[in-house]
């Protein structure tokens, strides 16, 4: 049989590779982003109760009504009015929501603008539709968006702009002026927007996250994507949701019903109950900010130059003072093998693999884990 790969350039993700290397070498894994602490016991009890109560068959295709209503109520308390029935779809993690939105709107030959550094799932999802990712790169240390450059990347074939706010791995957060600039471009060229907002609650030092859903110029033309994995320390559950105006949600659901149809029923019951209590997410920024500060202090003491960490659960560092001779991938591998701490090379978030001598550490870890990693890294300064 002759078989040609449809994706000859795609390999295993950097997250899978660095986690595997950490496991193989026994290194502390600060690479792939996931908490190493338990999620709330009440949430786990909620799943058990739902299982025992017999909630073990298909949920309705768009998601359990109680969960969609709880999601809409949560938005209402923060600002944007969201309709549970016509605007919220529960998905198998943010990843499926992103893929579904992209597949629902892009046709062969369309272009989608992607701001880099970019989360790794966007471009393959675009390419899988026969569409073309058009990259606009942002650079350290502040990764500010040059909106004139974004405007210049628009062509008659452009249909979608993909943004990630707050940004993994840059940790930058859009200002009101950023959203205005995005809206101006989208309105001028009649573009759709896909806004990955999975880190909405992990925003530090008094900053505030502003959603596309709160912006009048973006509300009707945007898909906004969220993940319970981030908000409730349960990345393995793979449950998220997409919020979009009724017209866009209707298109989204046409595909969603054939990609997964619906997602885990008992977990949706547990999440619906957990979302009733704002305290379950309101303390998240302070909780993670303390972890950021703990890791950052130790990394600075070990000789890394800290980049600002304004959001997410990641800290970027410049390692030039430690091993200027190594590229990012080589440095991340060397650090894992020789010093027992795994990180992610930031070049993995750029299509051209550009090297800024930056690696990313995840601080969604217990204090013991962070301290153990810092204990190992202290040897770099010795």
Residue 94 interacts with which of ligand GLN, ligand PMP, none, CB < 5 to 8 Å by class:
ligand PMP
How buried is 216 (Cβ within 10 angstroms: 0-12 exposed, 13-18 middle, 19+ buried)?
Answer: exposed
Q: Which stretch binds ligand PMP (CB under 6 A): 144-152, 206-214, 234-242, 348-356?
A: 234-242
Question: Any contact of residue 336 with ligand GLN (CB under 6 A)?
Answer: no
Q: In the complex with ligand GLN, which residue's Cβ is closer, 21 or 49?
A: 21
Contact between 225 and 256 under an 8 Å Cβ cutoff? The reply is no
Task: Choose, by CB under 6 A, the member of 89, 195, 227, 309 that binds ligand PMP.
Answer: 227
In the stretch 63-102, what mask flags binding to ligand PMP with x, by CB under 6 A?
------------------------------xxx-------
What is the C-alpha separation between 31 and 22, in angstroms, rounded? Answer: 8
Of residues 113-172, which lie at the interface with ligand PMP (CB under 6 A)? 119, 164, 168
Copy the structure tokens of residue 251. 């298109």
Question: Any contact of residue 96 with ligand GLN (CB under 6 A)?
Answer: no
Residue 166 interacts with which of ligand PMP, ligand GLN, none, CB < 5 to 8 Å by class:
none
Question: Any contact of residue 33 with ligand PMP (CB under 6 A)?
Answer: yes
Question: Any contact of residue 240 with ligand GLN (CB under 6 A)?
Answer: no
Contact between 144 and 357 under an 8 Å Cβ cutoff? The reply is no
Q: Give the residue from 281, 294, 176, 292 showing the smallest Cα distance to 230.
A: 281
Rounded to whole angstroms, what are the CA distances from 215 to 154, 166, 248? Answer: 21, 16, 16
Task: Choose, by CB under 6 A, the member of 35, 62, 240, 298 that binds ligand PMP.
Answer: 240
Question: Any contact of residue 13 with ligand PMP (CB under 6 A)?
Answer: no
Q: How far is the CB of 93 from ligand PMP (least distance, A)?
A: 3
How buried is 162 (Cβ within 10 angstroms: 0-12 exposed, 13-18 middle, 19+ buried)?
Answer: buried
Residue 227 interacts with which of ligand GLN, ligand PMP, none, CB < 5 to 8 Å by class:
ligand PMP
How buried is 189 (Cβ within 10 angstroms: 0-12 exposed, 13-18 middle, 19+ buried)?
Answer: middle
H/E element holding 314?
A: strand 314-318
H/E element holding 69?
A: helix 65-78
Of residues 159-188, which lie at the interface with ligand GLN (CB under 6 A)? 168
Residue 13 interacts with which of ligand GLN, ligand PMP, none, CB < 5 to 8 Å by class:
ligand GLN
Q: Strand 158-164 vs strand 111-116: parallel, antiparallel, or unpaired?
A: parallel
Residue 232 interacts with which of ligand PMP, ligand GLN, none, CB < 5 to 8 Å by class:
none
State phi, psi for 43 to the nearest 5 degrees.
-70, -45
What is the C-alpha separation between 251 and 105, in angstroms, rounded? Answer: 8
DSSP state for residue 95 in the 8-state scheme: H
Residue 196 interacts with which of ligand PMP, ligand GLN, none, CB < 5 to 8 Å by class:
ligand PMP
Q: How far is the CB of 71 from ligand GLN (least distance, A)?
A: 21
Question: Is 114 in a helix, a strand, or coil?
Answer: strand
Q: Strand 28-29 vs strand 341-342: parallel, antiparallel, or unpaired?
A: parallel
Q: How far is the CB of 45 from ligand PMP (least distance, A)?
A: 22
Give 21's contacts (C-beta < 8 A, 6+ positions apart).
Answer: 27, 333, 336, 337, 342
Count residues near ligand PMP (CB under 6 A): 14
Question: Any contact of residue 147 with ligand GLN (CB under 6 A)?
Answer: no
Tell me the HSE value of 43 on the side-chain side, using a 13 A CA sphere: 20
Residue 179 interacts with which of ligand PMP, ligand GLN, none, CB < 5 to 8 Å by class:
none
In the stretch 2-41, what mask flags binding to ligand GLN with x, by CB under 6 A?
-----------x-x----------------xx--------
Q: Which residues bind ligand GLN (CB under 6 A)?
A: 13, 15, 32-33, 168
Interaction site with ligand PMP (CB under 6 A): 33, 93-95, 119, 164, 168, 196, 198, 227, 229, 235, 238, 240
């Amino acid at each position: 049989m002759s078989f040609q790969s449809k994706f000859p350039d795609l390999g295993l993700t950097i997250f899978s590779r660095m986690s595997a290397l950490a496991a193989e070498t026994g290194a502390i894994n600060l690479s792939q982003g996931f908490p190493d602490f338990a999620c709330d016991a009440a949430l786990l009890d909620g799943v058990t109760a739902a299982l025992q109560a017999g909630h073990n068959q298909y949920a309705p295709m768009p998601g359990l009504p109680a969960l969609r209503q709880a999601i809409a109520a949560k938005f209402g308390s923060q600002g944007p009015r969201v309709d549970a029935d016509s605007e919220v779809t529960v998905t198998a993690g943010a990843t499926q929501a992103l893929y579904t939105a992209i597949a629902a709107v892009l046709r062969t030959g369309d272009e989608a603008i992607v701001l880099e550094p970019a989360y790794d799932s966007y471009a393959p999802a675009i390419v899988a539709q026969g569409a073309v990712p058009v990259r606009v790169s942002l650079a350290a240390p502040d990764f500010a968006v040059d909106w004139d450059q974004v405007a210049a990347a628009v062509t008659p074939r452009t249909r979608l702009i993909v943004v990630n706010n707050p940004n993994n791995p840059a940790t930058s957060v859009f200002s009101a002026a950023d959203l205005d600039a995005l809206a101006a471009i989208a309105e001028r060229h009649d573009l759709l927007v896909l806004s990955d907002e999975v880190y909405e609650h992990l925003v530090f030092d008094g900053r505030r996250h502003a959603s596309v859903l709160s912006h009048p110029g973006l509300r009707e033309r945007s898909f906004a994507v969220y993940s319970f994995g981030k908000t409730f320390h349960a990345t393995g559950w793979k449950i998220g949701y997409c919020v979009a105006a009724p017209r866009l949600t209707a298109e989204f659901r046409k595909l969603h019903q054939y990609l997964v149809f619906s997602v885990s029923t008992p977990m949706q019951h547990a999440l619906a109950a957990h979302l009733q209590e704002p305290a379950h997410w309101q303390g998240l920024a302070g909780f993670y900010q303390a972890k950021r500060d703990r890791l950052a202090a130790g990394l600075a003491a070990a000789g890394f130059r800290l980049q600002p960490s304004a959001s997410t659960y990641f800290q970027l560092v410049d390692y030039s003072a430690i091993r200027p001779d190594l590229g990012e991938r080589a440095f991340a591998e060397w650090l894992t093998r020789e010093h027992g701490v795994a990180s992610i090379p930031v070049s993995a978030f750029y299509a051209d693999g550009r090297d800024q001598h930056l690696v990313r550490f995840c601080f969604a870890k217990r204090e013991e884990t962070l301290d153990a990693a810092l204990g190992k890294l202290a040897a770099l300064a010795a």
